Structure 1
C-alpha cells in the first residue's frame, strides 16, 4: 500500500464535487490518461475503461468505481499486471481547507508483491490538488 496526503485550499464540498467529476474526466486529474469510456453508470457505481501512458508503458484498464461521501474507490476489474484498488478520501479541516489522501493498494498478479510507486501517488495527488484549486 502506498499513500500520500495533502491539504487542498478548497471546501470539503468543492473537493468532493471534483472527485465525482474525476470519475468521468480523469484526464484532468491523473497524469497520462486518455481514451476514457464509461461502460456502465448507475447510482451505485460507474464502470470505466481508460488508457494510461507513462514513459515506460501504455496500459488499458477497466475499473469499477464506487462513491460515498467522502470516499471514492477505484477497483481494478481488468489490468494486465495488477489487481487491487485506489481510494481517494477527503476530510474537513476548515471552511476553506480539506485533507485529501490517495491510497493505492495494488498487487502484482503473478508475484503478489505490492506496487510501491510513491512518486506516482504523489504526482496524482498534486495534479488533483492543482486542478481543484484552479477550477
Structure 2
C-alpha cells in the first residue's frame, strides 16, 4: 500500500465536486491519461476505460468506480499487470482547507508483490491539488 496526503486550500464541498469530476475527466487530475471512455454509468458506480502513458509504456485499464461522500474508490477490473484499488479520501480541516489522501492498494498479479511507487502517488495527489486550487 502506498499513501500520500496533502492539504488542499479549498472547502470540503469544492474538493468533493472535483473528485466526482475526476471520474469522467481524469486527464485533468492524473498525469498521462488519454482515451477515456465511460462504459457504464448509474447512481451507484461508473465503469471507465482509459489509457495511461508513462515514459516506459502505455497501459489500458478498466475500472469500476464507486463514490460515497467522502471517498471515491477506483477498483481495477482489467489491467495487464496489477489488481486492486485506489482510494481518494477527503476530510474537513476548516472552511477553506481539506485533507486529501490517495491510497494505492495494488498487487502484481504474478508475484503478488505490492505496488510501491510513492513518487507516482505523490505526483497524482499534487496534480489533483493544483487543479482544484486553480479551478
Where does structure 1 lack aligned partners over 5 or more consecutive residues? none
Q: What is the count of residue pairs matched by the alignment? A: 135
Matches of 2:62 and 2:6, distance apart in 1? 27
* C-alpha deviation, 1:49, in angstroms: 0.0
* Matching residue of 1:102: 102
* C-alpha deviation, 1:57, in angstroms: 1.2
**Any idea what the Cα deviations from partners look like across 1:92-122, whole Å, max 9, x if unmatched?**
0000000000000000000000000000000
* C-alpha deviation, 1:65, in angstroms: 0.1
* Matching residue of 1:16: 16
SS of the aligned residue for 1:112 comes to coil
Matches of 2:14 and 2:108, distance apart in 1? 34
* Matching residue of 2:66: 66
**Any idea what the Cα deviations from partners look like across 1:35-59, whole Å, max 9, x if unmatched?**
0000000000000000000000100
SS of the aligned residue for 2:16 comes to helix
SS of the aligned residue for 1:66 comes to strand
* Matching residue of 2:90: 90
* Matching residue of 2:48: 48
Q: Normalization by structure 1: what TM-score?
A: 1.00
Matches of 2:89 and 2:10, distance apart in 1? 15
Runs of 4+ in 1 over 6 A off after TM superposition: none
Matches of 2:91 and 2:3, distance apart in 1? 15
Matches of 1:57 and 1:86, distance apart in 2? 20
CA RMSD in angstroms, aligned pairs only: 0.2
Q: Normalization by structure 2: what TM-score?
A: 1.00
